[in-house]
């Protein structure tokens, strides 16, 4: 096919909705936000230019420090546990044979639950005195913590809760596992490789591209964690106490500054701060991936 | 022996992932004194919770809002993402790959960056307290769905389209009478994914909706969770009944469209 003017025009016409949307809802807002971050703007008076004042304030703001620490801590717990559990579940499901469809449904259904409903459920399931999670731990003689009120345990509690929705990652891994050629396992077995060595030298290299992808995407999402924690501990439920501080994630802080205090300029500066943090972490992951991720020659 | 181990592990997994659902439905049918008892069966049996929450809050209005917003969001995302994806998949023009790179880059862009300025845009248009911002952005396509549908279009047999082109079919005709019917499985994936996303979202309703009559179910559920906290005594049985109402449609959607959800999840990552 040749590149004709007519074809160019037709192609660009099809792209037009996206181009308009990109300018109106992505590129335009980003420039707008960059400028806003240099102003004080409360939606009543016009924005007043203040230079880097908002960024200076953010660096000195204790709550930003708390929010950033909470977010990074949560991400550091959430992403690895999510990936290890998903990998374990996917390996298990692959051995289920004809029953795997049923178990896939069991794993995926929690993903369909609206996060607010999830928050309501887990406020009770994780309750320190009466919750089923601590009831279960009690069977084994453990005294479970106060997941929803003890500042030390709130973030681990949110991680436990997030494990219930691990199904979508597990389903993605299951698909990746079935793409690893069976002959490689047969060859490994002929060489007398143990199950662990098979996993280490056949499975992991075979799916490392998918694992890497989920690490990057999960990290970006996790650094923006908002809904469940907000539903459980903020809004009219916010108490002026340590509970709230322990669950104060970065986007929650941003949301409160923007839509609670109407500090649009400051919130914009916070948004760019998060953008920078995410960009740095993603860049590090990309660099590390060059060393550890094994791409197949036959990628589709 | 090994198979027994696998099946035992699968049984444990099924119990662990299934239990919270069982618990939720059971607890929503208990009275307030027993909502914490973790008994498998609700005793005493109190289906009246559902009537009570129905009378306490405008649940039917919220369901209606969620259905309307969900369908609008899903329809808009499906139609325009298909248009754009077709443009990327079927035509060659200068800058195409660069533009597609931009689409992929926006997928990685943290939503938090545009949250404030986009709100201010809707505010400037006088629409910041309506339901329109909850779905109207989808009229311009959505990066992930464009990516997904482009994969579908690229998978279609190219020769068919080339032959039709030689026969003088217009680009629009190629799109409506050939590409769309052939890509139907992909369109369904996008539709059900976006329906689920819109139905479960709390962030946008929190930012935009002020009038409880306009609330979607998650926003309403958050209000229920908050409201019953204020009096000191939480009415958990009502909160849980409302949670069941918000969750059941999604469970049904999954059971009906399971194949499509799995397909969409798996297509997320094609190297």
**CATH number for the domain that contains residue A137:** 1.10.3720.10
Looking at residue A262, what is its pLDDT?
Answer: 96
Looking at residue A1, what is its pLDDT?
Answer: 45
Q: Which residues of B touch A178 (CB under 8 A)?
A: none
> What is the average pLDDT across A284-291?
88
A175 assigned to some structural domain = yes
> What is the average pLDDT across B116-139?
97
> What is the average pLDDT across A254-272?
97
Q: In whole numbers, what is the pLDDT of chain A averaged over residues?
A: 91
Q: Write the secondary structure of chain A as one string of H (helix), E (strand) and C (coil).
A: CCCCHHHHHHHHHHHHHHHHHHHHHHHHHHHHHHHHCCEECCCCCCCEECCCHHHHHHHHCHHHHHHHHHHHHHHHHHHHHHHHHHHHHHHHHHCCHHHHHHHHHHHHHHHHCCHHHHHHHHHHHCCCCCCHHHHHHHHCCCCCCCCCCCHHHHHHHHHHHHHCCCHHHHHHHHHHHHCCCHHHHHHHHHCCCCHHHHHHHHHHHHHHHHHHHHHHHHHHHHCCCCHHHHHHHCHHHCCCCHHHHHCCCHHHHHHHHHHHCCCHHHHHHHHHHHHHHHHHHHHHHHHHHHHHCCCCCCCC
Pairwise pLDDT comparison (A105 vs A240), residue with the higher score = A105
Q: What are phi and psi of B145, to 5 degrees?
A: -70, -35
B256: closest CA of chain A, how far (Å) = 11
ipTM score above 0.85: yes
Looking at residue B232, what is its pLDDT?
Answer: 61
> What is the average pLDDT across B173-188?
92
A222 assigned to some structural domain = yes
Q: How confident is the model at residue A300 (pLDDT cuts 50, 70, 90)?
A: very low
Q: Which residue from A43, A116, A267 is facing B222, i.e. has the nearest CB?
A: A116
Looking at residue A96, what is its pLDDT?
Answer: 85
Looking at residue A292, what is its pLDDT?
Answer: 77
A2 assigned to some structural domain = no
User: Is B231's pLDDT higher than 80?
Assistant: no
Give the Cβ contact number of residue A38 at 10 Å. Answer: 18
User: Is B205's pLDDT higher than 90?
Assistant: yes
| Structural domain span for residue A206 | 56-292
Q: Which residue from A22, A121, A164 is facing B243, i.e. has the nearest CB?
A: A121
In terms of Cα–Cα distance, which of A61, A73, A115 is closest to A254? A61
Pairwise pLDDT comparison (A268 vs B2), residue with the higher score = A268
Q: Which of B19, B88, B115 to mutate to test the interface with A (most CBs of A within 10 A)?
A: B115
Looking at residue A297, what is its pLDDT?
Answer: 47
Looking at residue A200, what is its pLDDT?
Answer: 87
- Token pair in block for residue A95: 């051995």
Looking at residue A196, what is its pLDDT?
Answer: 87
A18 assigned to some structural domain = no
User: Is B230's pLDDT higher than 60?
Assistant: no
Portion of chain A with pLDDT greater than 90, in percent: 74
A48 assigned to some structural domain = no
Domain count for chain A, please give it: 1
8 Å CB contact between A109 and B17: yes
User: Is B174's pLDDT higher than 70?
Assistant: yes
Looking at residue B158, what is its pLDDT?
Answer: 84
Q: Which residues of A touch B10 (CB under 8 A)?
A: 92-93, 96, 99, 103
Q: Which residue from A13, A176, A231 is facing B222, i.e. has the nearest CB?
A: A231
Q: How confident is the model at residue B228 (pLDDT cuts 50, 70, 90)?
A: low
A46 assigned to some structural domain = no
Size of interface A-B (CB pairs under 8 A): 270
Looking at residue A265, what is its pLDDT?
Answer: 97
Looking at residue A296, what is its pLDDT?
Answer: 55
Which DSSP letter does residue B175 get? I
Q: pLDDT tens for residues B210-226?
A: 999 999 999 999 999 98
**C-alpha angle B81-B86-B87 in degrees, rounded to nearest 5:** 100
Looking at residue A261, what is its pLDDT?
Answer: 95
> What is the average pLDDT across A125-154?
93
Q: Do B251 and A11 touch (CB under 8 A)?
A: no
Q: pLDDT tens for residues A5-56?
A: 777 888 889 999 999 999 999 999 999 999 999 999 999 999 999 999 999 9
Looking at residue A239, what is its pLDDT?
Answer: 65
E strand or H helix at B97: helix B96-108
Q: pLDDT tens for residues B28-81?
A: 999 988 888 888 999 899 999 999 999 999 999 999 999 999 999 999 999 999
A22 assigned to some structural domain = no
Pairwise pLDDT comparison (B229 vs A66), residue with the higher score = A66
Q: Which residues of A touch B35 (CB under 8 A)?
A: 124
User: Is B269's pLDDT higher than 90?
Assistant: no
A42 assigned to some structural domain = no
Q: Which residues of A touch B271 (CB under 8 A)?
A: 209, 295-296, 299-300
Q: pLDDT tens for residues B82-107?
A: 999 999 998 888 889 999 999 999 98
Q: Which residues of A touch B91 (CB under 8 A)?
A: 7-8, 10-11, 14
Looking at residue A54, what is its pLDDT?
Answer: 97
């Amino acid at each position: 096919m040749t590149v004709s003017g007519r074809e160019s025009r037709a192609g660009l016409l099809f792209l037009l909705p996206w181009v308009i949307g990109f300018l109106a809802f992505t590129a335009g807002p980003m420039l707008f936000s960059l400028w806003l971050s240099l102003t004080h703007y409360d939606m009543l008076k016009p924005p007043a230019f203040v230079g880097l004042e908002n960024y200076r304030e953010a660096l000195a703001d204790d709550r930003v420090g708390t929010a950033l620490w909470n977010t990074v801590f949560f991400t550091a717990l959430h992403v690895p546990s999510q990936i290890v559990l998903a990998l374990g579940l996917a390996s298990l499901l692959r051995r289920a044979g004809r029953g795997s469809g049923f178990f896939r449904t069991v794993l995926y259904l929690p993903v369909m639950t609206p996060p607010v409903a999830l928050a309501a459920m887990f406020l009770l399931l994780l309750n320190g005195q009466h919750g089923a999670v601590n009831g279960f731990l009690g069977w084994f003689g453990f005294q479970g913590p106060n997941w929803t009120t003890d500042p030390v345990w709130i973030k681990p509690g949110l991680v436990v809760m997030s494990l219930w929705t691990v199904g979508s990652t597990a389903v993605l891994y299951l698909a990746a596992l079935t793409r690893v050629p069976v002959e490689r396992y047969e060859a490994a077995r002929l060489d007398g490789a143990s199950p662990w060595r098979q996993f280490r030298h056949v499975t992991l290299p075979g799916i490392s591209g998918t694992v890497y992808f989920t690490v990057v995407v999960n990290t970006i999402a996790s650094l923006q964690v908002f809904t469940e924690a907000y539903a459980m501990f903020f809004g009219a439920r916010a108490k002026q106490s340590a509970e709230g501080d322990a669950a104060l994630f970065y986007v929650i802080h941003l949301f409160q500054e923007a839509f609670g205090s109407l500090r649009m300029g400051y919130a914009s500066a916070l948004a760019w701060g998060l953008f920078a943090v995410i960009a740095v972490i993603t860049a590090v992951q990309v660099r590390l991936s060059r060393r550890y991720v094994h791409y197949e020659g036959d990628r589709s | 022996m090994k198979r027994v181990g696998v099946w035992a592990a699968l049984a444990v997994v099924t119990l662990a992932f299934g239990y919270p659902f069982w618990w939720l439905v059971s607890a929503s049918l208990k009275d307030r004194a027993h909502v914490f008892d973790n008994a498998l069966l609700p005793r005493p049996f109190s289906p009246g919770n559902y009537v009570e929450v129905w009378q306490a809050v405008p649940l039917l209005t919220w369901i209606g809002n969620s259905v309307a917003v969900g369908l609008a969001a899903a329809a808009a995302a499906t139609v325009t993402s298909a248009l754009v994806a077709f443009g990327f998949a079927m035509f060659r023009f200068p800058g195409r790959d660069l533009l597609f790179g931009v689409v992929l880059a926006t997928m990685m862009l943290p939503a938090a960056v545009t949250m404030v300025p986009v709100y201010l845009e809707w505010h400037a248009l006088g629409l910041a307290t309506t339901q329109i911002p909850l779905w109207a952005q989808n009229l311009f396509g959505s990066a992930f769905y464009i990516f997904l549908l482009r994969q579908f279009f690229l998978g279609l047999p190219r020769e068919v389209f080339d032959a039709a082109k030689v026969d003088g079919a217009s680009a629009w005709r190629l799109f409506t009478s050939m590409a769309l019917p052939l890509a139907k499985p992909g369109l369904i994936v996008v539709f059900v994914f976006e329906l689920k996303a819109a139905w479960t979202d709390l962030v946008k309703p929190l930012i935009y909706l002020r009038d409880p009559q306009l609330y979607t179910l998650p926003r309403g559920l958050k209000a229920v969770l908050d409201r019953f906290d204020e009096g000191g005594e939480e009415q958990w049985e009502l909160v849980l009944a409302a949670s069941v109402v918000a969750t059941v449609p999604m469970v049904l959607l999954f059971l009906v469209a399971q194949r499509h959800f799995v397909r969409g999840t798996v297509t997320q990552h094609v190297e």
